[in-house]
């Protein structure tokens, strides 16, 4: 049972989108995140750096052939924070009497 | 802070979480044409081998290898961009995949040996034709079921 804990860092809409994508992934390519969330390279870099500084995301830089490739993955700490945040959101919704189950 | 979040906002955030995770899951979905490709290629390979013509066998093997490599490469290209978490599939999903492979292989081999024992011409081709039908009919069903399993296993999908 995950203990609910609202996380302001994750709750910001753009970061919530990024962390949600990463929560369903082992690892995600920078371009995939950028295109999925609809951010510029610099805006995504800034958000990923914020999450990395919090210890939520690990950024990997490498090469595929001669082409540079940046990818990101959620750390154990980040995954736990995300799951606690989801539990907190569910608690808020269920306290209001609404269903938290998808339609 | 959580006390300041309105339930509607929390519900919208949960919807967004589910939608974003669905984006990742959709990348891993096997398209229906892939099952037609694999089915067609195994029938073509079996027919080529049973023709016993060296040139036909060579062409058949080449087409099979190139077709499988090209088709599979196209399907798994999404994994280069994003790799869905293994936990989304879970033990149930893995069991379904292994069960489907075992079912198709078991039926195809049983039919092939039975036809060969009965002296029917082109037993492997006919058996693989049945195997191809199983892939074409069952493959998309398996894909839909696995997608449903992954959607149910994503964060925020249940209480």
pLDDT at B159: 41
Phi/psi at A74 (5° precision)? -75, 135
Tell me the C-alpha to C-alpha distance, in Å, between residue A65 and each of A48, A62, B78, B93, B154.
24, 10, 17, 33, 33
Both structure tokens of B18: 């589910």
pLDDT at B2: 59
pLDDT in tens, B98-157: 999 999 999 999 999 999 999 999 999 999 999 999 999 999 999 999 999 999 988 766
Query: What is the layout of strands, in order, in the sheet containing B82-84?
Result: A57-64, A67-74, A25-29, B82-84
B86 near A CB under 8 A: yes
Q: Which of A2-16, A55-69, B36-50 has the lowest mean pLDDT?
A: A55-69
Q: Residues of B with CB below 8 A from A87's CB?
A: none
Q: Phi/psi class of residue A65: alpha, beta or left (left: φ > 0; alpha: ψ in -120 to 50)?
A: left
Give the Cα separation of B60 and B106 in Å (integer).
Answer: 23
Whether the pLDDT of residue B25 is over 60: the answer is: yes
Q: Are B147 and B29 in contact (CB under 8 A)?
A: yes
pLDDT at A64: 76
| Distance of residue A59 Cα from the nearest chain B Cα, in angstroms | 14
Q: Are B133 and B111 in contact (CB under 8 A)?
A: no
Whether the pLDDT of residue A31 is over 90: the answer is: yes
Residues of A with CB under 8 A from a CB of B: 4, 6, 8, 11, 13, 16-17, 20-21, 23-29, 31-32, 36, 64, 82-83, 86, 88-96, 98, 100-102
Average of per-residue pLDDT across A77-89: 95
Tell me the C-alpha to C-alpha distance, in Å, between residue B152 and each of A38, B145, B148, B157.
26, 11, 6, 6
| Distance of residue B78 Cα from the nearest chain A Cα, in angstroms | 9
pLDDT in tens, B51-81: 999 999 999 999 999 999 999 999 888 777 8
pLDDT band, residue B158 (cuts 50/70/90): low
- Residue B154 half-sphere exposure toward CB, CA atoms < 13 A: 29
């Amino acid at each position: 049972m995950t203990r609910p804990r609202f996380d302001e860092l994750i709750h910001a809409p753009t970061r919530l989108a990024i962390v949600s994508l990463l929560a369903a992934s082992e690892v995600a390519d920078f371009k995939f995140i950028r295109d999925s969330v609809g951010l510029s390279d610099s805006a995504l870099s800034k958000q990923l750096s914020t999450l990395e500084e919090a210890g939520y995301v690990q950024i990997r830089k490498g090469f595929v052939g001669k082409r540079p490739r940046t990818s990101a993955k959620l750390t154990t700490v980040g995954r736990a924070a995300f799951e606690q945040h989801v539990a907190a959101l569910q608690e808020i919704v269920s306290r209001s009497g609404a269903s938290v189950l998808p339609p | 802070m959580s006390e300041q979040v309105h339930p509607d906002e929390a519900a919208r955030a949960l919807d967004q979480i589910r939608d974003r995770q669905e984006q990742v899951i959709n990348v891993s979905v096997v398209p229906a044409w892939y099952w037609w490709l694999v089915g067609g290629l195994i029938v073509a390979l079996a027919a080529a081998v049973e023709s016993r013509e060296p040139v036909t066998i060579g062409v058949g093997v080449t087409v099979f290898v190139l077709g499988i490599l090209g088709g599979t490469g196209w399907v798994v290209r999404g994994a280069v961009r994003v790799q869905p978490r293994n936990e989304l599939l879970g033990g149930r999903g893995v069991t379904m995949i292994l069960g489907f492979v075992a079912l198709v292989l078991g039926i195809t081999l049983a039919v092939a040996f039975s036809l060969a024992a009965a002296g029917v011409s082109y037993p492997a081709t006919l058996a693989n034709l049945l195997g191809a039908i199983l892939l074409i009919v069952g493959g998309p069903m398996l894909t839909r079921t696995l997608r449903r399993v992954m959607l149910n296993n994503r964060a925020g999908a249940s209480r």
